[in-house]
Structure 1
């Protein structure tokens, strides 16, 4: 390994920061440039919709490293800067400040951006999204006791903000074209769990409708729905998903399809360019499919894998998809992957109505995914069952549902 090699990381989020950390931990002594669009140093995103809005976490806790770490580890962190263009043939990048750099390896960890709401009035004040620390600060300033908050979208971000807003004493209305929150992710039965949870806390759901128009003078004051209903609003959160930031890959003519296409080593079609985090669409070696996962654990773990691959190590991304949420008194972890369109059966172990249970999704008798709700220290066992299912191991639904049968013995 030579000291004069230069590795450039485009995107200073969690994936990029963990890649830089891993490069140094693995003994790389060359130049590392970590380029971030935001003015903040790298931070983790889960606190933005959880602890920071709830007031249970300090802002400093969100950062991946303390400020001195970058200098101490000779990582050149350039905040408030973007990589504007890539020249793969010359292995050069042009930055927004006009600087041009030659790289030996390039990592794209550019993340994703909130999908915009394309309706009249979206430019009014207090129409918000949540992706950055600055976004979280704006939501904190806008949402307090008595605030009428309308959330457009019933996914994880929308529901986590709904829980935090109710904790602050705000009135919350969730607008969604679907029939249940999180239905596309969890299916009807488990979606009902979250519907009951939020309704018990006073959240108003408007199902089967969308936003037609936002009204107001300077700030938003009304949300007009496609069914003609007018909902009063002091603030609106648009939480209708994100799109991967593939502009650099497009410009460099790298294959893109719902993210930057990478192999199991997180390498693109160009052997010197890799991708990690939300932007990477990975050829998963265990699942036998391409997946792009937008959750914290993917950013946390793909960054180190990409770094090792950039160093030429024989590594691959074989982690199972994993995510978690905290809403009111409900804590949940989910691990696994149900193939799109698969006929999955849900098997529940524990008290579904009482809020302490494990739900399993089985496909052809094999466990594809599991979700533990207010039941802890079982994630590793759930992942073992999912991996066994991928190897073809079938389970008896009765044993799976029986709390007296240890999870370690379900597949035997």
Structure 2
């Protein structure tokens, strides 16, 4: 019987798990499979500094490639795992090879949600999820080019911010009535709409995409409302989907992600899962979450490694996220879903620095901080404590951040 730990997926959670397994004292063999040609790298910079050409691959790779060899990890890049045989306890790869495992970690991540409209396969219609996607988009970075971004979420707005600075004519089309509607309050949405307009980006909300037109390549986006937007390139950013198919086909419990417990164990005690692909319990909010964030991938990678090494450490933390656009750093602590009151600290109508505190029946559940690092740091702590805050004190900037809980 094999004592090897196999990790399927080569993203942030997988890289963290390798590091943490060795830190936890696991000395057995580890085998890592990734379907890209690259060793694990950071994805967030892809739509920011990496897209802008300000940093190269050496700045996004999580570990130098010799780290895996020196850590005793057998790596299989450009290799897709096609099946998990739980009864025989082995996996199968696309080239027909079988590899036995003692324990298994699924870090299969997520993929882009694709748009299914006429012309979706025209040249010049792109998504942004990996390094090769960025290279394809950068080929269109020519001053005066016209770009249409489909989707006004994090990715869409980050791409727009980079592109407009490169002299590109950028239009963002968003189906909802405001940008980032899924994750922030209207106060924050309207602030970002103002800033993008100031920077030269055109944002149109309440617009559905009916199709793409063009002969050899995309030439226009057509909306369901009758609009036509001429373009040389399209970047689609309409969300991501968890990669759960492999787990589901193996008979593991899947419910809005691969279902795991607080120790990252799946319905099979010999298989853990971590990162974007999981649905996990959160004691702070009292229900299951599927999170698409670096923080979650790192912490679940640590938790899964501890479980696989036989040292169970429950995962229960305040989620956090960030987005960089222009000179703005948006840092989000917690989840604002279900809030009953939003309290603003600072002025979102003129400057570029403020925070929105979300309360649910007086209890702090989340904070959106724009260029407000102190509020963000304090929010993580206060949200974990389920602190009850006075709205008047939050709004009063003469009261220091550290005194808000007083």
TMscore range, shorter length: over 0.9
Mapping of residues 104-253 of structure 1, within 5 Å: 104-253=102-251
Whether contact under 8 Å (1:264, 1:285) holds in the other structure is no
> Which segment is superposed worse, 234-243 or 49-58?
49-58
Partner of 2:355: 358
Aligned-residue offset at 1:379:
3.1
> Which segment is superposed worse, 222-231 or 398-407?
398-407
Give the secondary-structure state (helix, strand or coil) at the position aligned to 2:221.
Answer: strand
> Residues of 2 paired with 1:315 and 1:146: CA distance?
53
> Residues of 2 paired with 1:52 and 1:361: CA distance?
32
> Residues of 2 paired with 1:372 and 1:175: CA distance?
25
> Residues of 1 paired with 2:54 and 2:37: CA distance?
24
Aligned with residue 286 of structure 2, among 288, 307, 310: 288
Mapping of residues 379-390 of structure 1, within 5 Å: 379-389=376-386
Mapping of residues 294-313 of structure 1, within 5 Å: 294-313=292-311
- CA deviations on 1:199-250 (whole Å, 9 max, x unpaired) are 1111112221211111111110011111111110100111111110111111
Whether contact under 8 Å (1:8, 1:34) holds in the other structure is yes
Whether contact under 8 Å (2:274, 2:297) holds in the other structure is yes
Aligned with residue 29 of structure 1, among 6, 11, 27: 27
1:345 aligns with 2:355: no
Give the secondary-structure state (helix, strand or coil) at the position aligned to 1:164.
Answer: helix
> Residues of 1 paired with 2:50 and 2:158: CA distance?
11
> Residues of 2 paired with 1:377 and 1:100: CA distance?
51
Aligned-residue offset at 1:377:
4.1
Give the secondary-structure state (helix, strand or coil) at the position aligned to 1:383.
Answer: helix
Partner of 1:407: 401
Superposition TM-score, scaled by structure 2 size: 0.97
Give the secondary-structure state (helix, strand or coil) at the position aligned to 1:186.
Answer: coil
Give the secondary-structure state (helix, strand or coil) at the position aligned to 1:142.
Answer: coil
Aligned with residue 371 of structure 2, among 371, 374, 377: 374
Partner of 2:79: 81
> Residues of 1 paired with 2:265 and 2:164: CA distance?
43
Aligned with residue 270 of structure 1, among 268, 274, 281: 268
Aligned-residue offset at 1:12:
0.5
Give the secondary-structure state (helix, strand or coil) at the position aligned to 1:236.
Answer: strand
> Residues of 1 paired with 2:393 and 2:205: CA distance?
37
> Residues of 1 paired with 2:297 and 2:76: CA distance?
20
> Residues of 2 paired with 1:193 and 1:300: CA distance?
30
Give the secondary-structure state (helix, strand or coil) at the position aligned to 1:15.
Answer: helix
Aligned-residue offset at 1:378:
4.1
> Which segment is superposed worse, 34-43 or 198-207?
198-207
Superposition TM-score, scaled by structure 1 size: 0.95
> Residues of 2 paired with 1:144 and 1:346: CA distance?
41
Whether contact under 8 Å (1:285, 1:317) holds in the other structure is no
